Structure 1
Amino acid sequence: MAIKSIQYNQHTLDISYEILNPQAKVDLIILHGWGSNKNLMKQFFSPYMDSFRHIYIDLPGFGSSTCNLALTTKDYARVVELLMIHLNASKDIILGHSFGGKIALLLEPEVLVLVASAGIYVPKPFKVRAKIALFKFLKIFGLAKFREFFVANDAKKLSEPMYQTFKNVVDEDFSKEFSHYKGKALLCWGKEDTATPLSSAQKINKLIKDSKLIVYEGDHYFFMKNAEDISDNIEKTFLKTLEHK
């Protein structure tokens, strides 16, 4: 594990990363989801794809990386890009799980691997919308201290900058960004995913012209049991890009 200090918007972010197969010529950047870290992704993908240089990154505010300002998804993409410049990394293949998928998309790699990616807005159930409305009402009367009873599980116990970041990124719709992506995309999804439902994958598959959707048994973390097959498909997808060069 290594740490690189990145200067961004007059703040210093310490970004933790790890590189495997450092002599490989093709870069594979792997980005985790919200609330996760690079070690989870490394645990499941590091045994495979040894012809690629794996770069695992703790996104700002997660794992061993720091974050002392509110960020947007575009900010995250820029920070990752600055780290890539430091590492002399190319945008050959970028894999993103969940929230990491939106960041991967904005980086516009040659091959985009979306693993249960966020980015398609899914309307909240009535119960959740009612909860939000009640909290906003209580804030008017200075009762914001009860925030933890109303926020999503993903946002509980977050620092103030990360809570603001969560609010910035949680309900984004990247339909336009998906439709503008011009590279080759591999979409891997869990059939029983409730966080980013299969309907989101089907929409993305229609929006990205050169994309392929593979559906697996499992939920939002289906990749834990299917990393080998996903890895095989990543290698095949990348090889197809070489056929047209």
Structure 2
Amino acid sequence: MALKSIQYDNKNFDISYEIVNQGLKKDIIILHGWGSNKDIMSKNFKNYLPSFRHIYIDLPGFGKSINEYVLSTNDYVTIMEIFLKEIHASKDTIMGHSYGGKVATKLNPKNLILLSSAGIVEEKSAKVKSKIKMAKLFKFLGLGAITKIFRSKDVDNMSQNMYETFKNVLNEDFTDEFKNYEGKAYIFWAESDTATSLESGKKIASLIKNSEFKSYEGTHFFFVENAKDISERIENGIL
């Protein structure tokens, strides 16, 4: 593991990262999802994609990258752009899982790899809608502390600034970002994903003009069982 300090918006960010296949020249940037970290991605992909130098990154606020600020997706994108320049890495090929897929898309690589990416706003279930109504009611009654029990599991054990960040990024509609992306996209999805539905994956594939779509059995972390096949499809497509 390595740590790189960068400056953005007069703030300091220490970015934790890992590089695999140090001697190679063709980079693949790999970004994890919300509540996850680089180690999960590295554990599953580091033994594959032998033609690439892998760069696994903990986004600020996750893993070993400390964050003390409230951020937006645009902040994450700019921080990543600065970081990649600092370590002299190419952003030609970027893979992103879940929330990392949104950051990857806005980084606008030549080759975009999406693993059950966030970015399509989906209809909330009746249960979620009920929780939101209850939380708003308690907040209106001055019982804001109680609303913590209604928070998504995605923010369990998160600091207040990361909870505020989560609210900033949760319901972003990336329809235009996907539609305007002009590179090549490789889209991989889980058929039983309840975090980002299969229909969202198909919609993203329809929005990106130059894209390939492949679905697998499994849930949101489907790539754990399918990393080898995904990696081979990436190498065959890009190289």
Given the two structures, how large is their TM-score scaled by the length of structure 2? 0.98
CA apart distance, 1:92: 1.7
Question: SS state of the match for residue 17, structure 2?
Answer: strand
Counterpart of 1:181 in structure 2 is 181
**1:202 Cα deviation (Å)?**
0.6
Give the distance between the partners of 1:216 and 1:112, measured in 2 at CA: 19
Structure 2 residue matching 1:206: 3-state secondary structure: helix
Residue-pair matches, total: 239
Q: Per-residue CA shift, 1:84-108, capped at 9, x if unaligned?
A: 0011111221000000000000001
Aligned equivalents of 1:54, 1:63: Cα separation in 2:
17
Q: For residue 106 of structure 2, what is the aligned residue in structure 1? A: 106
Following superposition, the deviation at residue 28 of structure 1 comes to: 0.3
Task: Give the match for residue 242 of structure 1.
Answer: none
1:64: which partner in 2? 64
- Structure-1 separation of matches of 2:95 and 2:124: 27
Partner Cα distance (1:91, 1:63) in 2: 22
Deviation of the 1:157 alpha carbon: 2.4
Residue 210 of structure 1: aligned partner: 210
Amino acid paired to 2:29: I
Partner of 1:117: 117
Deviation readout 1:90-148 (Å, 9 max, x if unpaired): 12210000000000000011100000100000111122112112211211222011122
> Identity, % of aligned pairs?
51
1:187 counterpart letter in structure 2: I
What's the RMSD between the two structures over aligned residues? 0.9
Give the whole-Å Cα distance in 1 for the aligned partners of 2:86 and 2:20: 16
- Partners of 1:225 and 1:138 in 2: CA distance: 42
Give the counterpart letter for 2:21 in structure 1. Answer: N
Matched, 1:43 2:52: no
Match of 1:82 in 2: 82
Give the AA of the match of 1:101: G
Gaps of 5+ in 2: none
Distance in 1 (CA, whole Å) between partners of 2:172 and 2:83 is 24
- Which residue does 1:225 correspond to in 2? 225
| Structure 1 segments of 4+ aligned residues over 2 angstroms from their partners | none
What TM-score results when the alignment is normalised by the length of structure 1? 0.95
Q: Distance in 1 between matches of 2:191 and 2:55?
A: 28
- Structure 2 counterpart of 1:91: 91
Deviation at 1:199, TM superposition (A): 0.2
Aligned positions of 1:145-160 closer than 5 A: 145-160=145-160
Q: Residue type of the partner of 1:113?
A: I
Q: Secondary structure at the match of 1:187?
A: strand
